[in-house]
Amino acid sequence: KRFCELLPDELLWVENTDNGERMQVIPGALRERDVKVGQHIAVSPGALPRFFTRFERTYSGLGKAETIIAAAAAHHRLLWVHPFLDGNGRVARLMSHSMLLDVLDTGGIWSIARGLARNVRSYKGHLAQCDLPRRNDLDGRGNLSEESLASFTRFFLETCLDQVKFMEDLVQPDRLRDRILIWVEEEIRADALPQKAGRILEAILYRGELPRGDVPDLLGASDRHSRRVVAALIEHAIVVSESTRAPLRLAFPAKLASRWMPGLFPEQR
């Protein structure tokens, strides 16, 4: 519902390929008609609540390692149920991103969705294999192929590792501090930022966040001067704070991505 409410109206319509009928997608509403995805005929609309109950019971309350492994199975099973008229793939990828964001505390620095988007053919091929019925008595005990689900799980986790490695190489965390502090010094020399502003950023990089009350001692300055330095960093969207008393955090503004994390975005030509 939250995802579809942000889409323009023209993206909330789908067409029945059999008869050309246009159907409106209602944000958050479960489908009320039968659908076929490739060779897979999804469960009937009347069975959706029952399958959702089973889905929640299976994939909630797991331990950390179990949740990481189960994220792949949950991804396919949601697509297999196909609860919505349209947008199921996007919602499944958002769900997987959210599960890993929560259990691994990734901070959103990498996303399984990006990895799947870069391997569309393999991704769709694995999903199609997971839709197939059990091959024989050695292929699990359910209706669907356990062997195919295990193969998709391996592909899913390898894609996660690939994205972690990609972002690590791109961000180069061991050099991030140096790049940020060099940029700060350049801004100070250009009178764009006050003196000692770099101390605040360095402290946030080390601690994760900086209580405002620590700033005067950190800078060796008066409360008034400290507030001026903090205000300048906030004005330039370098640091953010939820309130005038909340701790300071680094904002990583997109406009500075090319300096702080070169290669994150394609260069404009």
Q: Evaluate whether 31 touches 83 at the Cβ level (below 8 Å).
A: yes
Contact 196, 185 (CB under 8 A): no
Q: What is the pLDDT of residue 69?
A: 94
Q: Does residue 152 contact residue 112 with C-beta atoms inside 8 Å?
A: no
106 and 201 belong to one structural domain: no
What pLDDT was estimated at residue 20? 80
Q: What is the pLDDT along the chain (269 residues), one digit of tens a residue?
A: 998 999 999 999 988 877 888 989 999 999 998 888 888 889 999 999 999 999 999 999 999 999 999 999 999 999 999 999 999 999 999 999 999 999 998 878 899 999 999 999 999 999 999 999 998 888 888 889 999 999 999 999 999 999 999 888 877 777 888 999 999 999 999 999 999 999 999 999 888 899 999 999 999 999 999 999 999 999 999 999 999 889 999 998 888 888 888 876 666 65
- φ, ψ of residue 239 in degrees (nearest 5): -125, 160
CA max distance for the chain? 76
Helix (H) or strand (E) holding 189: helix 173-189
Report the alpha-carbon distance of residue 199 to residue 238 in Å, rounded.
13
Q: Which residues contact 234 (CB under 8 A, 6 or more apart)?
A: 240, 241
* Sequence-ordered alpha helix ranges (H) in 110-256: 112-117, 120-130, 146-171, 173-189, 197-207, 215-219, 223-235
Choose one of 120, 152, 171: the last residue of a domain. 171
Q: What is the pLDDT of residue 16?
A: 80
Written as one string, the DSSP assignment of 149-185 is: HHHHHHHHHHHHHHHHHHHHHHH-HHHHHHHHHHHHH
Total structural domains within the chain = 2
CATH code for the domain in which residue 253 is found: 1.10.10
DSSP state of 22: E
Please check whether residue 266 lies inside any domain of the structure.
Answer: no
pLDDT score at 239: 94
The pLDDT, as a whole number, for residue 36 is 86
Residue 57 pLDDT: 96
As a whole number of angstroms, the distance between CA 41 and CA 143 comes to: 14
| Segments forming the whole domain that contains residue 159 | 2-171
> Do residues 34 and 90 both lie within one domain?
yes
Asked if 111 and 163 count as a contact pair (C-beta separation under 8 A), the reply is yes
Q: What is the pLDDT of residue 267?
A: 61
User: Residues 165, 177: one domain?
Assistant: no
Residue where a domain stops, chosen among 116, 139, 171? 171
Statement to judge: residues 85 and 115 lie in one domain: yes
Give the model's pLDDT for residue 15: 87
Question: The CATH number of the domain where 75 resides is what?
Answer: 1.10.3290
Identify whether residues 88 and 35 lie together within a single domain.
yes
DSSP state of 56: H
Q: Note whether 85 and 134 are same-domain residues.
A: yes
Rounded-to-integer distance, Cα 196 and Cα 174, Å: 22
CA distance 36 to 23: 15
Q: Pick from 171, 192, 218: which residue ends a domain?
A: 171
Give pLDDT, residue 124: 95
CA 217 – CA 65 distance, rounded (Å)? 42
